[in-house]
A and B are shown apart, each in its own frame.
Chain A
């Protein structure tokens, strides 16, 4: 046994909802350590105890791919229309960033660029990498991959920024014919992208990173 024993080696299982450490019931037919269909309820909170999140790989892949499909119209279609007396201007996510940069707010442009473009792309790349490497049972850079997952979890919801910007401007800029802001379909796809990537990162089980062959200790 290594210096840092893992739950399965000690016949323990942690509740993911309340954190209670439970002993595997000896002889319980479903708790055989294979990580599949370990149906047993936590004695403290009643949540189902599982060694690993259910169908983690499949669910994460499905949600990630769905998010990516939504991400294409989110970027191609305009998210917001600004109409005034003499012109109509449709903004995409990128043109919104460019506009902020040109109009003299480069620091905010960087924040919006990070939240709307860097963070979603990072999530696709990071979760894709985590999925592929964990499914192969790779021992490569495990500590760094664990950190990457925690980063994705931490920054994920900040992508909602642009959705809130459009919603606030729509409600504010209502000067009948003089000036109007309307949301366009891009913002709906973008909102769905953010929700789907958040669901994807929640369904990935970071413990899978460590489940391959032990090379670290």
Chain B
């Protein structure tokens, strides 16, 4: 059968069904007819818009990590913490596994994801493949679900409510920065980063 080039085809990751690629218009999402998984969605945001969002997310991320998240008060004593305060506290309290988990999923992986993506998009906006394009794209894929900032925001909310019964709770700028970061992450959740493979053709950069 005449299939044309393999680039014109699309294979559902969830059930291996083969489709011809369709041109999608704004807001369109192609779904698999066999298993219902999403195949592809329209690229709503260009590389420039994505880069702007990534830079915003990086700035907010720095703020979320620098500023204290919340302050507790008890009889005039105050106690506050940043994300790194949490990581250090867990390390000192004999919960090193948890300390490493928190550092990886809330600091290192999100930071790696944003800087790698920023680097790739910086070149993609002028139609070029960034140096290290292939290994970085593979690394981005492998990072997958291991960034958990949005889970932490909900966790902070639960911790605040728990602490509220015993202490005075004063929310600090860090928690607002985290809330903003969660919004940005939600926007990125709808973006299929694999499109960069097709958007930026291979050539001598």
Physical interaction between A and B? yes
Chain A contacts to B: CB under 8 angstroms: 4-8, 10, 12, 14, 16-23, 44-47, 96, 99-100, 103, 105, 108, 111-112, 115, 142-143, 146-147, 149-150, 153, 156-158, 160-175, 178-179, 182-183, 187-188, 191-192, 195, 198, 202, 206-207, 209-210, 216-217
Q: What residues of B have a CB within 8 angstroms of the CB of A168 in the complex? A: 69-70, 81, 86, 155-156, 159
| Surface stretch bound by A, among B45-53, B54-62, B119-127, B145-153 | B145-153
Extra inter-chain contacts (15) besides given A111-B154, A164-B106, CB under 8 Å: A45-B134, A142-B35, A150-B14, A163-B155, A164-B151, A170-B93, A172-B163, A175-B74, A179-B166, A183-B90, A183-B98, A191-B101, A195-B101, A206-B15, A209-B15
Contact yes or no, A20 B14, CB < 8 A:
no
Question: In angstroms, how far is the closest chain A Cβ from the Cβ of B65?
Answer: 14
- Chain B, interface size category, equals 35 or more
Q: What residues of A have a CB within 8 angstroms of the CB of B80 in the complex? A: 172
From A162, A172, A202, name the one whose CB has the most chain B CB atoms within 10 angstroms.
Answer: A172
Question: In angstroms, how far is the closest chain A Cβ from the Cβ of B186?
Answer: 13
Contact yes or no, A111 B35, CB < 8 A:
no
Q: Give Cα A207 to B74, complex, Å.
A: 55
Q: Give Cα A161 to B102, complex, Å.
A: 11
B10 at the interface (CB under 8 A from A): yes
Question: In angstroms, how far is the closest chain B Cβ from the Cβ of A132?
Answer: 19
Q: What residues of B have a CB within 8 angstroms of the CB of A99 in the complex? A: 162
The contact of A187 among B10, B17, B77, B98, by CB within 8 Å, is B98
Contact yes or no, B79 A172, CB < 8 A:
yes
The contact of A178 among B1, B70, B75, by CB within 8 Å, is B75
Q: What residues of A have a CB within 8 angstroms of the CB of B35 in the complex? A: 142-143, 146, 206, 209-210
Q: Which of B152-205 contact A (CB under 8 A)?
A: 152, 154-159, 161-163, 165-167, 194, 197
> Beyond A156-B145, A206-B14, A210-B35, is A170–B152 a contact (Cβ under 8 Å)?
no
